[in-house]
Amino acid sequence: MLLDLFKYGFSLETLIGVLASIFVIFCTLPIHEFAHAYVATKLGDPTPRLSGRLTLNPLAHIEPIGALMLLLFGFGFAKPVNVNFRNFKNRKRGMALTAAAGPAANLIMAFLFLILMIIFTILYSRIGTIVLKVSFWFFKYAATINIYLAVFNLLPVPPLDGSRIFNIILPDRLYYKLMQYERYIVWAVFALLIFGWLDIPLTFISSKLYDLLFKIAYLPFKAFLG
């Protein structure tokens, strides 16, 4: 996002992309983390609540490095929510549901933003003001970033949410072995992102998911518009 300003120069579209990224950092990343905290709390773990993470306050969730990465590359992260799996009745199931809550929240938000994007597209086609055009691009970028975040977080590698979901089918011994190397794996993932080696698969999956959500979001408008 922010790199686009240096690559392609200043334009209204790239500026809106940066503003949408800032919006995601302060508004939707906190919802992602709150979803983790909420589900964990509902499943019997008070750790997120006791550590102050059962809140939508962005200051409780923002991680500076993760926020910078989102601004620069479109992929980032917030401060992980601490969870004590020993408090779950079913440890694997509890961890998987808690982990899945974050990406699910991103997809729900992306769907809502796509609906808003469609509404502003229809209004722009009829009225054609710059405000409606800016609103269209803003929600398009917001939806796209949220889909990218969901796909990225679903990668089955620690410490991403996908690894906690993938844990359901992994033997405990193998899972804990992987977790021992979490620190090294996360830096390897960051390196792959920085050098662009994950761009093709992540972009491909994200674009397919975007198309699917867009088609679903557009259905009621298609019926209404004839």
Q: Name 149's Cβ contacts closer than 8 Å, sequence gap at least 6.
A: 24, 28, 29, 32, 70, 75, 76, 103, 106
User: 């500026």: which residue's tokens?
Assistant: 15
For the residues 156-161, what does the mean pLDDT come to?
81
Q: Give the integer Cα–Cα distance in Å for 60 and 160.
A: 19
Which residues are known to be catalytic? Answer: 33
Q: Give the integer Cα–Cα distance in Å for 164 and 94.
A: 10
Q: Give the integer Cα–Cα distance in Å for 73 and 221.
A: 33
What average pLDDT does the structure give for the chain? 86
- Per-residue pLDDT reduced to its tens digit, 29-66: 999 999 999 999 999 999 999 999 999 999 999 989 88
Q: Give the integer Cα–Cα distance in Å for 142 and 159.
A: 24
Position 226 pLDDT exceeds 70? no
Instruction: Look at 12-21, 87-96, 128-137, 166-175 and tell me which has the smallest mean pLDDT.
Output: 166-175
Give the 3-state secondary structure of residue 66. helix
Burial group, residue 86, by CB count within 10 angstroms (0-12, 13-18, 19+): exposed
Q: Give the integer Cα–Cα distance in Å for 86 and 74.
A: 34
